[in-house]
Amino acid sequence: MIPRIVVLISGNGSNLQAIIDAISSKTLNGQIVLVVSNKQSAYGLTRATQAGIPTLIFPLKPYKDLGKTRIEYDIDLAKKIKEYNPNLIVLAGWMHILSEEFLNSFEDKNIINLHPALPNLFDGADAIGRAYEAFKKGEITKTGVMVHKVIPDVDKGEPLLIEEVPIFETDSLNDLETRIHTVEHRLIVQCIKKILDELNH
């Protein structure tokens, strides 16, 4: 049985593209059965459609407009994803914190997140920008990328893969972002491969 992957995105989807490419080149033995975005404008939805992958646009705003909670949103999102029976859920630039209620729906499943920082440094949004500022102030000399298990605490789950990324004096923020994205694309595929290999044994 080919392992089933659901990918959650909020934006450009370059990491999604790396996963799509790795599957089509047979680096990964799995199939993406659904791409979910909480933003209609996410370019990653176009990438999914071009690859023939079903998409789901699932924004939080309609829930807020009806006075519903984030937890109600998460429970409904979990139900939608469950219909696709995934073996693995990958958060690749997903900018919505998932509650315990969502995670409890998939207790026996792997849920992983890609975060452009080293463990316990620059948790949450704009991690690259904050690392760059810290470098400029002389507080750090390097940053990194990690793939970790998802728990309710943001970016605090057990790291599965970590790679350090150097920061150079001559770097613009754009240079650093490009270097980090290159590592992200490789690391997310590497981690998925590791998990799928374990599932296949």
Where exactly are the structural domains of the chain? 4-115+147-163+183-199
The pLDDT value given to residue 185: 97
Predicted confidence at residue 152, as pLDDT, reads 79
Q: Quote the tokens at residue 95.
A: 């900018």
Note if the pTM is more than 0.85: yes
pLDDT at 199: 83
Residue 27 Rama label (left phi>0; alpha psi -120 to 50; beta):
alpha
Residue 115 is among the residues annotated as catalytic for this protein: yes
The reply to whether CATH 3.40.50.170 applies to domain 4-115+147-163+183-199 is yes
Of the candidates 115, 148, 181, 201, the residue annotated as catalytic is: 115
How much is the mean pLDDT over the chain? 94
Residue 180, SS3 per DSSP: helix
- In the chain the beta strands, taken as DSSP E runs, fall at 4-9, 31-37, 55-57, 88-91, 110-115, 142-149, 159-166
Q: Could you count the other beta carbons within 10 Å of the beta carbon of residue 91?
A: 24
Rounded Cα gap, residues 32 and 20, in angstroms: 8
Q: Of all helices (H) and strands (E), which one includes residue 44?
A: helix 43-50
pLDDT score recorded for residue 155: 62
First-to-final CA distance of the chain? 11
For 195, residues 6+ apart whose C-beta sits below 8 A from its C-beta are 88, 110, 112, 160
- pLDDT < 70: residue spans in the chain: 155
